[in-house]
Each structure stands twice: as C-alpha cells, then as structure tokens.
Chain A
Amino acid sequence: MPAKVSVIGRATRVHGRVTGGGDLEVDGFVDGEVAVEGDVTVDAHGMVGAGVRGRRVVVRGAVKGDLVGEEAVLLEEGARVVGDVRAPRVAIASGALVRGFVETGDSNGVPAKVARPQVAARVAPPVASAPKPAAAAAPVATVASKPSSAPSGVNNSSANAGPRRPPPPVVPALKKVKGQVAKRKER
C-alpha cells in the first residue's frame, strides 16, 4: 500500500543504519548513518546522530554529522547542523544554525577550486611586503616617485599618506596597491 515514501515517526528511535532507495522522512530519532537514493527530509522534530546522504537533503531538525546531497542540501528555519555540508547547491535559510565546513559544487568542485587560489594570492603580497615598511622612509620616497607614471589618483593618495604617519594599517593598504601596480607593470 504505502510505496515509496518511508517515515521514521516522531515516537520512533532507530539505532543503526538506514539505507536504500526511495524518499525518507525522519521525524523521530536516528542514531546512525542515513544514506538514501531519494530525497531525505529531517523534520522539525527529527534528529539524526550521524551523516545524511541523499539526492536532496532538506533539514528542519537536528543533524550531528555530515550532510551530502547529490543535487542539493536545503537547511531551513529551525535546522541545527553540526557537521560539514557538501552539495552542488547549498541553501541555508535565515534561522538555520550550522557549525561546519560548507562546500558547494559537485565532486569536480570547479567553482570552489577556482575561488581558493584567488584568496591565497590576495593574502600573499602583503605578507611579502610586510618587512619593507620597517626599512624606513627611503623606500617610501622611491615608491612615491615610481607611481608618478601611474594614474594620478594612486599617486596622490600615496603622497598624502607618506608625511602624515598614519596608523600602521594604512601603510600596508597602500603597499598592497603599489605591489599590485608593480606586478602589472612587470607583466
């Protein structure tokens, strides 16, 4: 009679693995891995104490484990997740609580892998140029003269910042710009 949809009811506790095909709805407690080929819904009263894998994983309850969606993971209001979230599409609604690593994109991870090196590249130059400010005023003068060929906006800002002796954060910020300009010139 009831065919494809499986339900772990509100007054039911499962200690062990739940696997197989079809959709699964968890409104009770599952202390074990859940791996289903269809959609998995963890309802507001549902709790899963281990990883959840499904085509679409929708969470309104609590999960302590990794969430993996073949298509998507949707964390809706009331969701409490402690664990990593991985799916081509991940949605975290307002009111959902998550503690863990979230990665969108399929197993190829094309968008994620492109994004990470960019972040690294931005972070790296200031670290490399950090020792330079300690080298006193002489470098500042030379740098100020160099950008004269650069756009006037950059030139003015660097000239203004030099004599003021502003708080340290400003100098690295300018160094960053100079470093990028210099790199562009080199290329």
Chain B
Amino acid sequence: MAGTVIGAGITIEGDVTADEDIVVAGTVRGKLSTKESVTIEHGATVEADVVGGSFAIAGALTGNVNATERVDLQSGARVIGNVKAARVTIADGAQFKGNVDMDV
C-alpha cells in the first residue's frame, strides 16, 4: 500500500519529497524524491529528476533516475535520461535513451 498516490488526473508542478512509497499515475513536473519505492504507472508523465530506493517504471519519464537499490523499466515504459542504480533491468518493449551506471 503506497503512502502517496498521484492519480491519473492530477498534475503536480514542483518538488515532491517523501519518506514513503509513491505511485504516480498522473503528471509530475519538478523533482521527486523518496527513500522508498517509486512506481510510475502506464499513462503517467514524469518530467523530473527522481531519487528513490527502487523504481518500477511503466510510464513516460524524462529526467535522471538515481536509485539506491534498483530500477526496472517495464514494457511500455518510455525513459529519456540517465539511470544510476545498483541493479537495472530493461524489459523487452521498453523505450530508453540515456546512460546506465550500475556502479560496476
């Protein structure tokens, strides 16, 4: 159960800072950061640098991703930006343009 849900019709213009899970089904422009997991659902639009524990991305993300644990780009995801995380997976069908940094 997510602490914060940004619904499909909602737009946030600004910074979102949390210590709990975030689910984005709407639009976020600005910054988004949490220590916990971030889910960007299919149909969501995020134009922001995002920082979090782990990411599951199925929507559109423009911005850099910085995760302490993992980033999973799911089928249908569309990501433009650099991804930095200990583990990164990109599913078949995900669109991605950017650098991947897995701390090798």
Q: Which A residues form the contact surface with B (CB < 8 A)? A: 1-24, 28, 32, 36-38
Contacts and interface: CB of A to CB of B under 8 A. Distances in A.
Interface stretch (B20-28, B72-80, B89-97): B20-28
Nearest to A25: B5
B37 to A, nearest CB: 13
A22 B15 contact: no
A32 B29 CA distance: 14
Contacts of B11: 17-20
A1 B15 CA distance: 24
21 contacts: A3-B8, A4-B9, A6-B5, A6-B10, A7-B5, A9-B5, A9-B18, A10-B3, A11-B3, A14-B16, A15-B14, A16-B13, A16-B30, A17-B14, A18-B10, A19-B13, A21-B9, A22-B7, A28-B18, A32-B14, A38-B9
Given A10-B3, A36-B10, 15 more contacts: A2-B7, A4-B7, A4-B8, A5-B5, A6-B26, A9-B3, A9-B21, A11-B19, A12-B4, A12-B22, A19-B12, A20-B11, A22-B9, A23-B7, A24-B7
A18 B30 CA distance: 12
B6 A6 contact: yes
Contacts of A36: 10
B4 to A, nearest CB: 4
Residue with the highest number of chain B CB atoms closer than 10 Å, among A5, A9, A11, A17: A9
A20 to B, nearest CB: 4
Contacts of B4: 7-9, 12, 28
Contacts of B41: 1
Contacts of A6: 5-7, 9-10, 26
A38 B26 CA distance: 15
Contacts of B27: 20
Given A2-B5, A6-B6, A22-B7, A16 B20 contact: no
A97 B88 CA distance: 50
A23 B5 CA distance: 11
B100 interface: no
B2 interface: yes
A69 B12 CA distance: 20
A17 B29 CA distance: 10
B99 interface: no
A19 B16 CA distance: 14
B26 A13 contact: no
Given A1-B41, A7-B4, A11-B19, A16 B10 contact: no
